[in-house]
Structures are given as structure tokens and as C-alpha cells.
Amino acid sequence: MPSPEMKTPEHEAIYRKVRGMILFGALPPGQAVTIQGLCAVTGAGATPVRETIRRLTAEGALEALGNRRVCVPRTTSEKLAQIHFLRRHLEPELARLATPHMTDKEIHFIEEKDNEVNIAIAAGDAGGYLEANYRFHFGLYAVAGADVLHHTALSLWVRMGPSLRVVCGQVGTASLPDQHRAVLAALRRRDPAAAARALLDDIDQGYTLVARTLGETQEPLS
């Protein structure tokens, strides 16, 4: 663990904060993003905010429109299908790799995140749901020891965050499906194949709901 004296550099802290705003849907699809606006929201100076916009644009979390205009991109049916294709290949593998190495403490952590998911659903708290659901998944993926897969999965989640917030607003949190119980059961048994299957089911259910809600249902890429 890092020592108490270690502090996250400002530019990295601002990047993570703005990335979280996108990831958890605080910035909706089509929202214009400006240096001045992010400075006001984050309390940061123009230099780290400008670097944050550059990084997130390079990662596809923001979209450059020309004339120095930047916005949160809208998810098209084609992009949605591509994200789904990549997620269903990456994330079950992360679950498979992580399962044999999960400690009881780590399983307890993601159980707590699942409880937070359920609390947010009951309260109709879309932002709370998105954050707890993210913590559930990436609490698992962090144990896999597969940095490239982990980083790629995170980039896909950031691209999906704004659209998921739209879905929550349209269908309500009570309609959101998940296979978390099946994932947890597989983890407790230390069954990598079952954990991967449950993750795949979770991803497929989520894709079906998002695609249907956004009016962009199409056959998933295989």
C-alpha cells in the first residue's frame, strides 16, 4: 500500500474525477465540455483540465468536434455492438483469471458492493447504482493480475457510462438486471468457469436492455 505521505498528482486526480463524471453519467451524451466549465466544477486550473480533456479524448471518452469543441459522445448502435463484443470477450476472462486468487476478504468486498447495488436500486438512485455496479465488477477484475485487459475493460465502461445513465432515467433502476448472485456463488466455490459464464450472462442481459431502451437493438457481434 502507498505510504500516507504519497499524494496523487493534481493532474491525475483531476483526470480521475472527470473520468468518474463520465463513467457514472454525470455528463450526459452530447454534453459540451469546456476547459472553463471543468475548471469551475473541479476547482482545478486550466493546465491539468486541458490535459484531462486531451487524455479522455484520446481514449474515446470525449469526442473532438472541430473548432476546439469537445463533447461527451453519443453511443450509436454500431459502437454499442462493438463495445458489447469486446466486453463479452474481456470481462469473463478477467473473472476466470481472478477467481482462483480471490480471498475471503476480497469476496466480502464485492458482496458489499452488490448490497450497495441493491440499496441503490430500491432507492431509485441511478448514480449510486452505476458507481456500486462499477465497484462490484472492478473489485473482481483487479484481482486478475491482467493489467492490459483491466485497462481496456475500464475504457469500454467509460464509453458506456453516459448511455447507462440515460437507460436508468428511462426504465428506472428497478428494471436493471444482473447476475451478481451467480457470480458471487461461483467465487465462493472458486469455480473460474462458472464465474466466467455468470459474467457473460450479466453482460448480455445488460446489452439487451441498453440496446432496446435506446431503440438500437441489433444482433450482437459474435
Between CA 33 and CA 14 the distance in angstroms is 14
Half-sphere exposure of 93 (CA within 13 A, CB side): 13
Residue extents of the structural domains in the chain: 10-71, 77-213
For the domain bounded by 77-213, which CATH number is listed? 1.20.120.530
Confidence (pLDDT) at 218: 42
For cell 476466470, the residue is 96
- pLDDT by residue for the chain (222 residues), tens only, comes to 444 456 788 889 999 999 999 999 899 899 999 999 999 999 999 999 999 999 999 999 999 998 889 999 988 889 999 999 999 999 999 999 999 999 999 999 999 999 999 999 999 898 999 999 999 999 999 999 999 999 999 999 999 888 888 888 788 777 777 899 999 999 999 999 999 999 999 999 999 988 888 874 444 444
The CATH architecture assigned to 10-71 reads Orthogonal Bundle (1.10)
Confidence (pLDDT) at 1: 41
Which pTM was predicted? 0.88
